[in-house]
Homo-oligomer: A and B are copies of this chain.
Amino acid sequence: MAEQRIPRATAKRLPIYYRYLNILLDADKTRVSSTELSEAVKVDSATIRRDFSYFGALGKRGYGYDVPKLIEFFKKILNQDQLTNVALVGVGNLGHALLNFNFHQNSNVRISAAFDVNDNIVNTVQSGVPIYPLSEMGKQLRDQQIAIAIITVPENTAQEVTDELAKADVRGILNFTPRRLSVPDSIRVQNVDLTNELQTLIYFIDNYGELLGGNEKSQD
């Protein structure tokens, strides 16, 4: 049995579906159609059905999808049935906001350790998360079995921090700096470049504006 690999584009949408399904459940809705979902998450209904179908026949024809069933299913797929600890490197402006937020409202992810070079904050606890000096990073990551790190350090130190993370066998990095990181094949990088995001938006508005009619579908 072929164990089909899920397309990248589909994988990126799974958390969006998962999130909205939980909202439905909170509102005591136990069934949903692809059309209805489409409306809420702004993804074409055919795309949703195709996405779901990669995992088998999850719905019932003439009825739709059973919300609790879908949730249970996606919870496993997305590893949301267990807590994932991640690390934060660089507790400045942005890092502080992320620490405070800490993701645990609607997802089973939390920042369990933070690292910085600033002596004023090192060895304190912020929003319930201990901040360690950089020198302890390797040890802590290994002890706590942390495989994912968020980088919010100044751009010019991003690569060296990354190299340290690689040594500690981190598997994934969420990179908020504008620097494109060099990493070994074993590490996956996800860039979040807010300045880019804004510039791209400006470009689109100035150059694409007039001639996209009602065909505006996926927004990203």
Q: Map CB proximity to B onto A165-182 as digits: 1 under 8 Å, 0 otherwise.
A: 000000110100010110
CB within 8 Å for A201 and B174 given contacts A93-B97, A195-B103, A219-B188: yes
Residues of B within 8 A of A107 (CB): 195, 198-199
Determine whether the beta carbon of B42 is less than 8 Å from that of A205. Answer: no
CA–CA, A2 and B142, complex, Å: 57
CB within 8 Å for A185 and B207 given contacts A198-B148, A202-B148: no
Does A80 make an interface contact (CB < 8 A)? yes
CA–CA, A100 and B94, complex, Å: 9
Does A15 make an interface contact (CB < 8 A)? yes
Residues of B within 8 A of A172 (CB): 201-202, 204-205
Binding site for B on A (CB under 8 A): 5-6, 11-12, 14-16, 18-19, 40-42, 77-80, 84, 86, 93-94, 96-98, 100-101, 103, 106-107, 109, 147-148, 150, 171-172, 174, 178, 180-181, 185-186, 188-209, 212-214, 216, 219-220
